[in-house]
């Protein structure tokens, strides 16, 4: 993570010499070095809650809780003694009190940490009891909570607060009898404390529960069967599932995840995804990654006639237009098709990103930006990115830095966001007017670009800003050391994109900020870097997961002018994440239809044949079969490889004064819903609106609305979106600048 110091502290754990950084805990160092200390409640990346006390160790002869005890130079830690074992065994005995003996039907059986630790601590009897309560299970959105199975470890509460950033869960009183006083004397201190707490508490949605994004992370981290995804309840035992580690294709974050698969049913021999899991100590997922996987092109067959029509369509095409959810290897095939057929290659979002990066590089001197999620330290600025909708991992990383690293952050975005606005007291919200991003970047240059040459400094000083705001920014940044700026896709097709790219380039070059670019679509960055793109094209067009006179589609071919293609979760290949990593994806489900490589082979003839699409991975940088897809014990990303940042020719210093564009009429914003569960996460038939927007335009949830933009009209259904604040409404993601002048009329 950003700002982590180099390991300089030497200590011994169970006689093994290890090295740690200032501020590390004994447990984090042990985990990073594959030394096992029993521990349930502490999640790596989150703050310790001291809920389970199993992590007790002896450090320099003193009993400490290793998730909460910081390392010291020369420290000697012992993790296993007869006394520690006895105390841990007593805790596990308490956890088993009144825990229903239903492992045979419990969804967690086989992967339950309560089972594991009970066996590991050799609990075979119980010496205390209390009257059981009749606790009812509840369902919150996609999460099912059974309090009878809950050990009140608070992992769910902690992950929602420290990672997800909405603090939607809390402990509440459990009710029931108090413990018999005599247990205080007869039980070891920690076991009694655990029982006393467990006996008094339950988990419930807190007053902030209304902000729950239904991401399922709370259920993912639950060590027992207490909290599970409702759609997995009673579906399968863990050991029956085949695991396919891969990378999520829902957004540019490309998170590591695991598809868990088995036969679709007794009468269905084909395989189905039963759930998606994550290595939650190092990777959280959003709702889209966890629940939005069901968009494979199922049932596709090798239809010879349709294939021949597709080949004919490509022969007469003047252009191929493709959408960014595409592998890098497919992009290389599209480049080959372009060359072979002498046609144009169109992808407007990737074209805009490539153009933006080129201008950025001409000023920063770098081919790519230097930041990533991992560089997010104690001071982060986000601009032009809708954190709750575009890339939730970036929001999680900022929240984690705010809560755990005592960081500060600023969000410059015109649209109010119920989550970001209430995330943390050190999150400064600067809701500028639509189009004013140049002013925000100029403020940052003024505050942070100390190394700016005099001629540029004079220019920046010439732009007029509010002194009070500059002071506010400077104060927030005091004593901070890990600076990251996240620049989103509002900037790429902004009417003033060129000046914005230059300003961002200046920040990368002359300030301590490391820039992260946040594209809108999965693998937009791969398409921007590897596709040989054209700006526009006329004439007959073949669409690849995009509109065209003939369409190659992963959404299921529906007529004479469409040919089935595999969805990304049916493919092997690589994509580029916003972290600049080329990461692998693997097929979770089978596919029986044609592929882009087969179309290429049909057109190229015998002289240039592609055997496997992934043979092209080497052209991106590494052979596919050499790519790894996991995290190291210390959380290091061992997935794929990082793209070289590289340097471009001598950088150019150029800067214009801010000149924000003005929009007329009703201003709409182009964004996905926070859930993003639709295929390719782009289409939408809803106008997602804040309560204030609905009120202003005399609309109710469910009203049909005619939306006219640039003379073209569509009918949408107005839907209240609790996350949008201010008088704003979202249409689905589309082309061009994300803010649109529109006319709306109630149907």
Q: Please choose, from the candidates 65, 69, 57, 62, the residue with its C-alpha nearest in 3D space to the C-alpha of residue 13.
A: 57
Looking only at residues 23 through 82 of this chain, which bind ligand FES when binding is defined by CB under 6 A? 39-42, 48, 50-55, 65, 67
Q: Which partner, ligand SF4, ligand FES, none, binds residue 246 by CB below 5 to 8 Å per kind? A: none
216 is an interface residue for ligand SF4 by CB under 6 A: yes
Looking only at residues 337 through 396 of this chain, which bind ligand FES when binding is defined by CB under 6 A? none
- Judged by CB under 6 A, the residue of 18, 42, 106, 160 near ligand SF4 is 160
Backbone angles phi, psi at 229, to 5 degrees: -70, 125
Q: Which stretches does DSSP call E strand in 194-285? A: 201-205, 227-229, 242-247, 256-265, 268-277
Q: Please choose, from the candidates 370, 368, 405, 395, the residue with its C-alpha nearest in 3D space to the C-alpha of residue 481.
A: 405
- Alpha-carbon span 57 to 81, nearest angstrom: 9
506 is an interface residue for ligand SF4 by CB under 6 A: no
Q: Which partner, ligand FES, ligand SF4, none, binds residue 40 by CB below 5 to 8 Å per kind? A: ligand FES
393 is an interface residue for ligand SF4 by CB under 6 A: no
Annotate 409-439 with b (16+ C-beta within 10 A) or e (fewer). bbbbbbbbbbbbebbbebbbbbebebbbbbb
Looking only at residues 479 through 518 of this chain, which bind ligand FES when binding is defined by CB under 6 A? none
- Judged by CB under 6 A, the residue of 67, 212, 434, 477 near ligand SF4 is 212
Residue 66 burial (CB count, 10 A): 27
The minimum distance between CB 26 and ligand FES, in angstroms, equals 10
The minimum distance between CB 65 and ligand FES, in angstroms, equals 5
Query: By CB under 6 A, how many residues form the interface with ligand SF4?
Result: 27
Check the CA dihedral 577-580-586-591 and report its sign. positive
- Alpha-carbon span 661 to 500, nearest angstrom: 13
The minimum distance between CB 216 and ligand SF4, in angstroms, equals 5
Nearer to ligand FES, 30 or 563 (CB): 30
Residue 589: DSSP 8-state: S
Nearer to ligand SF4, 387 or 589 (CB): 387
533 is an interface residue for ligand SF4 by CB under 6 A: no
Q: Please choose, from the candidates 175, 153, 156, 170, the residue with its C-alpha nearest in 3D space to the C-alpha of residue 207.
A: 170
The minimum distance between CB 380 and ligand SF4, in angstroms, equals 21
166 is an interface residue for ligand SF4 by CB under 6 A: yes
At residue 743, the 3 state secondary structure works out as strand
337 is an interface residue for ligand SF4 by CB under 6 A: no
The minimum distance between CB 37 and ligand FES, in angstroms, equals 8
First to last CA, the chain: 51
Residue 57 burial (CB count, 10 A): 25
Nearer to ligand SF4, 150 or 332 (CB): 150
382 is an interface residue for ligand SF4 by CB under 6 A: no
Nearer to ligand FES, 115 or 236 (CB): 115
The minimum distance between CB 203 and ligand SF4, in angstroms, equals 5
- Alpha-carbon span 507 to 485, nearest angstrom: 9
Looking only at residues 682 through 721 of this chain, which bind ligand FES when binding is defined by CB under 6 A? none
Q: Which partner, ligand SF4, ligand FES, none, binds residue 53 by CB below 5 to 8 Å per kind? A: ligand FES
Nearer to ligand SF4, 155 or 580 (CB): 155
- Give CA angle at 146 (142, 151), nearest 5°: 120
- Alpha-carbon span 562 to 593, nearest angstrom: 12
- Give CA angle at 478 (473, 483), nearest 5°: 75
Cα separation values, 13 from 9, 54, 68, 693, Å: 13, 17, 16, 59
- Alpha-carbon span 538 to 319, nearest angstrom: 8
Q: Which partner, ligand SF4, ligand FES, none, binds residue 156 by CB below 5 to 8 Å per kind? A: ligand SF4
- Alpha-carbon span 56 to 223, nearest angstrom: 19
- Alpha-carbon span 278 to 287, nearest angstrom: 12
Helix (H) / strand (E) element for 363: namely helix 348-364
Nearer to ligand SF4, 13 or 218 (CB): 218
- Judged by CB under 6 A, the residue of 66, 79, 224, 375 near ligand SF4 is 224
- Give the x-and-dash track for 192-211 against ligand SF4 (CB under 6 A): -----------x--------
Q: Which partner, ligand SF4, ligand FES, none, binds residue 687 by CB below 5 to 8 Å per kind? A: none
The minimum distance between CB 40 and ligand SF4, in angstroms, equals 8
Nearer to ligand FES, 41 or 477 (CB): 41
522 is an interface residue for ligand SF4 by CB under 6 A: no
91 is an interface residue for ligand SF4 by CB under 6 A: no
Nearer to ligand FES, 163 or 410 (CB): 163
Q: Which stretches does DSSP call E strand in 651-723? A: 666-670, 686-689, 704-709, 712-720
Looking only at residues 137 through 156 of this chain, which bind ligand SF4 when binding is defined by CB under 6 A? 143, 150-156
DSSP code string of 162-217? IIIS---EEEEE--SPPPPTHHHHHS-HHHHHHHHHHHHEEEEE-GGGGG-----H
At residue 621, the 3 state secondary structure works out as coil
Ramachandran area for residue 705 (φ above 0: left; ψ -120 to 50: alpha; else beta)? beta
- Judged by CB under 6 A, the residue of 222, 402, 529, 718 near ligand SF4 is 222
Q: Which partner, ligand FES, ligand SF4, none, binds residue 55 by CB below 5 to 8 Å per kind? A: ligand FES
569 is an interface residue for ligand SF4 by CB under 6 A: no
DSSP code string of 64-111? EETTTPBP-TT-EEE---HHHHHHHHHHHHHHTTT--S-TTT-TTTTS
Nearer to ligand SF4, 216 or 252 (CB): 216
The minimum distance between CB 56 and ligand FES, in angstroms, equals 8
Cβ(571)–Cβ(587) under 8 Å? yes
Check the CA dihedral 661-665-668-670 and report its sign. negative
418 is an interface residue for ligand SF4 by CB under 6 A: no
Overall size of the chain counted in residues: 747
The minimum distance between CB 425 and ligand SF4, in angstroms, equals 20
313 is an interface residue for ligand SF4 by CB under 6 A: no
- Judged by CB under 6 A, the residue of 27, 84, 164, 718 near ligand SF4 is 164
Nearer to ligand SF4, 155 or 405 (CB): 155
The minimum distance between CB 280 and ligand SF4, in angstroms, equals 11
Residue 304 burial (CB count, 10 A): 9
The minimum distance between CB 110 and ligand FES, in angstroms, equals 22
Helix (H) / strand (E) element for 346: namely strand 344-346
Query: By CB under 6 A, how many residues form the interface with ligand FES?
Result: 13
Q: Which partner, ligand SF4, ligand FES, none, binds residue 65 by CB below 5 to 8 Å per kind? A: ligand FES
255 is an interface residue for ligand SF4 by CB under 6 A: no
- Judged by CB under 6 A, the residue of 59, 77, 227, 554 near ligand SF4 is 227
Q: Which partner, ligand SF4, ligand FES, none, binds residue 29 by CB below 5 to 8 Å per kind? A: none
Cβ(341)–Cβ(603) under 8 Å? yes
192 is an interface residue for ligand FES by CB under 6 A: no
Q: Which partner, ligand FES, ligand SF4, none, binds residue 215 by CB below 5 to 8 Å per kind? A: ligand SF4
Q: Which residues bind ligand FES (CB under 6 A)?
A: 39-42, 48, 50-55, 65, 67
Question: For binding to ligand SF4 (CB under 6 A), which residues are involved?
Answer: 143, 150-156, 159-160, 164, 166, 168-169, 203, 212-218, 222-224, 226-227
């Amino acid at each position: 993570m950003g700002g982590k110091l180099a390991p300089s502290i030497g200590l011994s754990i169970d006689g093994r010499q290890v090295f740690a950084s200032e501020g590390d805990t004994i447990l984090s160092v042990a985990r990073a070095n594959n030394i096992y200390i029993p521990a349930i409640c502490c999640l790596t990346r989150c703050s310790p809650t001291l809920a389970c006390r199993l992590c007790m160790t002896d450090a320099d002869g003193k009993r400490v809780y290793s998730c909460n005890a910081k390392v010291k130079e020369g420290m000697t830690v012992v993790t296993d003694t007869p006394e520690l074992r006895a105390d841990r065994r007593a805790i596990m005995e308490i956890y088993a009190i009144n825990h229903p003996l239903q492992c045979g039907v419990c969804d967690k059986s086989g992967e339950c940490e309560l089972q594991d630790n009970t066996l590991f601590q050799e609990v075979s009897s119980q010496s205390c009891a209390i009257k059981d309560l009749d606790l009812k299970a509840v369902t919150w959105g996609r999460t099912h909570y059974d309090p009878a199975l809950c050990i009140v470890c608070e992992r769910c509460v902690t992950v929602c607060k420290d990672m997800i950033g909405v603090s939607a869960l809390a402990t509440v009183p459990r009710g029931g009898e108090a413990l018999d006083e005599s247990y205080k004397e007869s039980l070891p201190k920690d076991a009694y404390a655990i029982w006393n707490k467990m006996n008094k508490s339950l988990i419930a949605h807190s007053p902030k529960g209304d902000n729950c994004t239904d991401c399922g992370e709370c259920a993912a981290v639950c060590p027992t069967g207490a909290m599970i995804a409702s759609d997995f309840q009673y579906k399968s035992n863990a050991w029956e599932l085949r695991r396919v580690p891969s990378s999520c294709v829902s957004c540019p974050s490309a998170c590591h995840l695991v598809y868990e698969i088995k036969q679709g049913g007794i009468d269905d021999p084909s395989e189905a995804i039963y759930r998606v899991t994550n290595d939650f100590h190092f990777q959280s997922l959003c709702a889209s990654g966890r629940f939005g996987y069901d968009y494979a092109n199922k049932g596709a067959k090798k239809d010879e006639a349709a294939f021949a029509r597709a080949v004919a369509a490509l022969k007469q095409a003047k252009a191929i237009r493709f959408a960014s959810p595409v592998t890098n290897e497919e992009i290389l095939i599209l480049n080959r098709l372009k060359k072979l057929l002498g046609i144009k290659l169109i992808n407007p979002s990737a074209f805009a990103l490539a153009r933006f990066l080129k201008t950025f590089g001409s000023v920063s001197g770098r081919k790519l930006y230097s930041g990533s999620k991992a560089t997010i330290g104690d001071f982060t600025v986000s601009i032009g990115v809708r954190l709750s909708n575009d890339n939730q991992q970036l929001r999680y990383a900022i929240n984690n830095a705010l809560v755990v690293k005592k960081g500060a952050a600023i969000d410059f975005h015109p649209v109010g966001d119920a989550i970001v606005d209430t995330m943390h007291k050190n999150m400064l919200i600067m809701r500028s007017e639509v189009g004013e991003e140049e002013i925000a970047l100029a403020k940052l240059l003024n505050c942070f670009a100390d190394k700016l040459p005099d001629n540029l400094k004079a220019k920046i000083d010439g732009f007029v800003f509010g002194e009070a705001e500059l002071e506010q920014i400077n104060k927030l940044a005091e004593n901070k050391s890990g600076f990251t700026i996240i620049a989103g896709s509002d900037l790429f097709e902004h009417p003033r994109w060129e000046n914005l790219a230059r300003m961002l380039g200046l920040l990368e070059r002359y300030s301590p900020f490391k820039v992260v670019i946040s594209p809108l679509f999965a693998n937009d960055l791969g398409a921007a870097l590897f596709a040989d793109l054209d700006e526009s094209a006329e004439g007959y067009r073949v669409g690849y997961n995009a509109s065209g006179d003939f369409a190659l589609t992963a959404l299921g071919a529906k007529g004479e002018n469409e040919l089935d293609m595999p969805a990304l979760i049916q493919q092997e290949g690589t994509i580029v994440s916003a972290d600049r990593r080329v990461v692998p994806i693997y097929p979770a489900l089978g596919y029986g239809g044609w592929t882009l490589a087969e179309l290429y082979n049909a057109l190229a003839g015998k002289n240039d044949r592609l055997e496997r699409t992934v043979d092209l991975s080497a052209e991106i940088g590494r052979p596919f079969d050499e790519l790894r897809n996991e995290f190291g014990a210390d959380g290091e990303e061992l997935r794929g490889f990082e793209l070289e940042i590289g340097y471009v020719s001598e950088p150019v210093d150029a800067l214009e004064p801010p000149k924000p564009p003005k929009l007329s009429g009703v201003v709409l914003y182009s964004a996905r819903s926070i859930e993003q569960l639709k295929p390719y996460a782009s289409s939408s038939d809803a106008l997602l609106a804040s309560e204030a927007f609905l009120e202003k335009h005399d609309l109710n949830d469910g009203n049909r609305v005619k939306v006219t933009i640039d003379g073209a009209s569509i009918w949408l259904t107005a839907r209240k979106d609790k996350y949008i604040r201010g008088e704003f409404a979202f249409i689905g993601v589309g082309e061009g600048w994300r803010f649109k002048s529109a006319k709306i009329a109630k149907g």
